[in-house]
């Protein structure tokens, strides 16, 4: 039977692993404040995401963008995207996250959720072009949303709330053993932007 562990994150200990086994995830709490949400909305070329489901190409309600050091080709859900240059605000955010973690990120996937009716199904960030067991830094702006981990074998779940300006880090074998998702929340009426800074293999 699945169990759910709700994390009490008061104090934001970035050294405390959220996962009970088979991976590493750390919540730093809010590390940004200011006008980043508005800047990202203005400076990003948002487009509806594409996916291939049962051989049929569909457009999702959620909008996405992707930036990188080079015109990397990123493949997932049966589609391919080509990285665009970094915007000024995205450069600032990447620099700050890199300073906090001591890691250089060469790409970033951006997701725009218009409200709580939009979410993300269970998945792992395990695409072959990503550095295996590398670091993925997830930054959230806007509405607070639930974030869930689920162990691929035991079904055990870990849940937390991602706050405006917060940083969540996944590393080690997390993508091998855990799925994660952003469930829909009907009561949420405001938008959320999520940035996942990644390490693409050169």
pLDDT at 62: 87
Q: Which residue has the tokens 């009970």?
A: 20
Kindly report the CATH number assigned to the domain that includes residue 69. Answer: 2.60.120.590
How many independent structural domains does the chain possess?
1
pLDDT at 10: 52
pLDDT band at 165; cut points 50, 70, 90: very high
Residue 125 has pLDDT above 80, yes or no: yes
pLDDT at 77: 62
Among 186, 194, 196, residue whose Cα is nearest residue 62: 194
Pair type for strands 166-171 and 24-30: antiparallel
pLDDT at 78: 65
pLDDT at 184: 96
Residue ranges making up the domain that contains 106: 4-198
Cβ(19)–Cβ(25) under 8 Å?
yes
pLDDT at 71: 78
**Side by side, which strands form the sheet with 4-6?**
4-6, 157-162, 145-151, 178-182, 120-123
Q: Which two tokens stand for residue 181?
A: 């998702």
What is the CB-side half-sphere exposure of residue 173 using CA atoms within 13 A? 8
Cα torsion through 100, 45, 123, 147, rounded to 10: 60
Higher pLDDT, 55 or 104: 104
Mean pLDDT over each residue of the chain, to the nearest integer: 90
């Amino acid at each position: 039977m699945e169990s759910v562990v709700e994390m009490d994150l008061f104090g934001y200990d970035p050294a405390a692993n959220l996962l009970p086994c088979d991976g590493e995830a750390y919540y730093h709490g809010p590390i940004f404040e200011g006008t980043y949400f508005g800047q990202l909305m203005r400076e990003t070329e948002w487009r509806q995401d594409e996916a291939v489901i049962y051989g049929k190409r569909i457009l999702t309600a959620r909008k996405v963008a992707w930036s990188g050091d080079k015109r990397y080709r990123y493949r997932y859900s049966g589609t391919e995207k080509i990285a665009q240059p970094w915007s000024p605000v995205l450069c600032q955010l990447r620099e700050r996250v890199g300073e906090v973690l001591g890691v250089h990120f060469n790409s970033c996937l951006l997701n725009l959720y218009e409200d709580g009716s939009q979410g993300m199904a269970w998945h792992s960030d395990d695409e072959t072009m990503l550095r295996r067991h590398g670091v993925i830094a997830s930054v959230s702006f806007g509405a607070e949303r639930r974030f869930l981990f689920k162990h691929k074998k035991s079904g055990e779940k870990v849940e937390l709330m991602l706050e405006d300006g917060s940083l969540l880090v996944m590393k080690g074998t997390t993508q091998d053993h855990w799925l994660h998702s952003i469930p829909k929340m009907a009561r949420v009426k405001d938008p959320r932007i999520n940035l996942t800074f990644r390490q693409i293999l050169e």
